[in-house]
Amino acid sequence: MRDFYSVLGVRRNAGADEIKTAWRNKAKSVHPDHNQDDPEASHRFAEIGRAYEILKDPEKRTHYDRQREKAENRMREQTILQQRQAAREAAERAKEAKENAERILAELQRAEAEKAKAERQSQTSQAQPQPQPQPQPQSQAKAKPAGKAGAESPEDVVARIFGDSPEAAAVAESLRREDQAAKTEGENGGLSGPAPLRPIELISALVRRLRGVQPPPETAPDILVDAQVAISDLLNRSPVTVTLPDGRDLRVNLDGGLKDGDVVRLKGQGLKVQGMLRGDVAVTIRVQKTEKFRTEGYDIHTVLPITLEDAVLGCEATVETPTEPVQVTIPPWSGSDQVIRIDDLGLADAEGKRGVLAVELRVLLWEKPDEKVTDLMRLMRHGLFL
């Protein structure tokens, strides 16, 4: 499902004005008239228009958000099923490899024992001369597979356990390096160096690994949710409640210096899937924008309307904050979009340091025309000063 928020480059909690501004900027930059050499310009321009058409309408946007949430839940469920199937297949392969390794180890041990027995019998027969040559013991004939196994490479040995698979290649490479390291050490150290590992020793080491090292269970995917948080909640560190797709309500503490877009992880509170570790719940903080206040990082922004004479002459004004009103001084000759910053009235970060309250000035005219001001402006435009 196409992400219209990504198409416009806005967050999911973006306001109507932010969406409109993003649409204008995007449409202007990808307009086909300005990108005649780009064959995809018309397609991107149409896609931006479609995204704006959906997101500018509150009803269409709500319907789109619900459909997208359903699609994300379906994808999450599909991912869980795939991970569970992969975990089951990996467990079956590990179980089969362990059984094969133990079976082959038993065969090699029997072959080694029979070979040693045949050698002892041969030494005994040589020490006591016999008038006629004795027939070859049957156990010595059975020892040939062990001698043959001694010529096997690590790749051949592991292939008998894992078959032709990526696991076989990885284990064979590991054993091959161990075998080569043993040979190199023996060559450099002379008689004091260890002898190269035989297949039976390689298999013994491999069986110990399969018996002692069990792969950790897979972890279920995280549940991703948004928490709509008021500025006052962050200032007072009041916990909020989020509702999960499965209907559960979880309490989210707002400690630790949070701001818009931060993620709070609730460990072990996610999906409960048989045979898998329980995942987390990742809660993304979405700070609500009101008519009076919005946040940028740890700073709180508000707008203060002032009259023309107060902008020119300056004044003392009262500014509303999320907690209580404060007094500010408007310097003379202050224009619109000028910002007055008041320290330590914003949100607190992880270290307890607070941002600022950014007061954006807006110069407003009177509700009804003033003849004296109109005459003054007319005189100033034409350069006539009385």
pLDDT tens string 145-190: 444 444 555 556 666 666 655 555 565 566 566 666 666 655 555 4
Same domain, 121 and 242: no
| pLDDT for the residue numbered 220 | 79
Assigned domain for 72 exists: no
Q: What b/e readout covers 63-93, taking b as 16+ CB neighbours within 10 angstroms?
A: ebeeebeeeeeeebeeebeebbeebeeeeee
CATH code assigned at 346: 2.60.260.20
Mean of the pLDDT values across residues 119-133? 68
Q: How many domains does the chain have?
A: 3
| pLDDT for the residue numbered 197 | 47
Mean pLDDT estimate for the chain: 79
Same domain, 274 and 318: no
pLDDT digits (tens, 9 = 90+) for 285-335: 999 888 899 999 999 999 999 999 999 999 999 999 999 999 999 999 999
Residue 233 has pLDDT above 60, yes or no: yes
pTM of the predicted structure, to 2 decimals: 0.50
Boundary (domain end) residue, out of 288, 322, 337:
288
Asked whether the beta carbons of 314 and 331 are under 8 A apart, the reply is yes
Residue 207 has pLDDT above 90, yes or no: no
Same domain, 155 and 244: no
Give the pLDDT band (50/70/90) at residue 362. Answer: very high
Assigned domain for 238 exists: yes
Pairwise CA distance, residues 112 & 90, whole Å: 32
Mean of the pLDDT values across residues 96-106? 73
Pairwise CA distance, residues 226 & 72, whole Å: 13
Assigned domain for 64 exists: no
